[in-house]
């Protein structure tokens, strides 16, 4: 699984004219599911994401996590994170998981986040054309891959 995490002061997502979700200060997570990913990948990413110390403490140092701050979270499924652009000019998505399996792991990830955080986790609409708006705070943007070799 691959995630791009952005620390935001606010974020929201719409599909068509419908506002699906909006959050205040917290994290916006774009999540891509790769072929071969499983529940262990989801568990690894969610623990890493909610415990990353990327929020400022009273001294202005990035020392606090989402768990520490009680911040909000918005998760958006995004298969394009698995794009392979090494050949030609058109991205290939052959490494992205097929939709049924990807939806299952995406739902597992969001469900486990809700259990772990004990609160609402906002989300987009799987396989929909979404418009995501955000105010990146910092800016802080981090990429995490559950299977990247050190």
Q: Which domains does the chain have, with CATH numbers?
A: 2-145 (3.50.80.10)
The pLDDT value recorded for residue 7 is 98
Share of the chain above pLDDT 70, in %: 99
C-alpha 101/C-alpha 144 separation (Å) is 20
3-state secondary structure the chain: CEEEEEEEEEEEEEECCEEEEEECCEEEEEEECECCCCHHHHHHHHHHHHHCCCEECCCCCEEECHHHHCCEEEEEECHHHHCECCCCCCCECCCECCHHHHHHHHHHHHHHHHHHHCCCCEECCCCCCEEEEEEEEEEEEEEEECCCCC
Identify the pLDDT of residue 149.
61
Give pLDDT, residue 106: 97
List residues with catalytic annotation. 78-80
Task: Provide the pLDDT for residue 116.
Answer: 95
Range 120-145 average pLDDT: 96
> What is the overall mean pLDDT for the chain?
95
pLDDT at 150 over 60: no
What percentage of the chain exceeds 90 in pLDDT?
97
Instruction: Please state, in angstroms and rounded to a whole number, the distance separating the CA atoms of residues 141 and 119.
Output: 23
Asked if the model's pLDDT at residue 41 lies above 90, the reply is yes
The sign one gets for the Cα dihedral 122, 128, 134, 140 is positive
Give residue 140's pLDDT band: very low, low, confident or very high (50, 70, 90): very high
Strands 2-15 and 130-145: antiparallel
Asked whether the predicted pLDDT for residue 93 surpasses 70, the reply is: yes
Question: Per-residue pLDDT averaged across 26-42, rounded?
Answer: 97
**What integer pLDDT is reported at residue 148 of this predicted model?**
75
- pLDDT of the residue at 47: 96
Q: What is the mean pLDDT of residues 18-46?
A: 97
């Amino acid at each position: 699984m691959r995630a791009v995490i952005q620390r935001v002061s606010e974020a929201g997502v719409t599909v068509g004219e419908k506002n699906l979700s909006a959050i205040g200060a917290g994290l916006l997570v774009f999540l891509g599911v790769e072929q071969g990913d499983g529940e262990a990948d989801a568990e690894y990413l969610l623990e890493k994401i909610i415990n990353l110390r990327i929020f400022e403490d009273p001294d202005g140092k990035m020392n606090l996590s989402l768990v520490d701050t009680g911040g909000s979270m918005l998760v958006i499924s995004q298969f394009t994170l698995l794009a392979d652009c090494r050949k030609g000019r058109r991205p290939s998505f052959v490494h992205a998981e097929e939709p049924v399996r990807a939806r299952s792991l995406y739902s597992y990830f969001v469900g486990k986040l809700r259990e772990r955080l004990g609160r609402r986790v906002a989300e987009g609409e799987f396989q929909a054309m979404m418009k995501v708006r955000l105010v990146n705070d910092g800016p802080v943007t981090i990429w995490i891959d559950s299977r990247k070799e050190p």
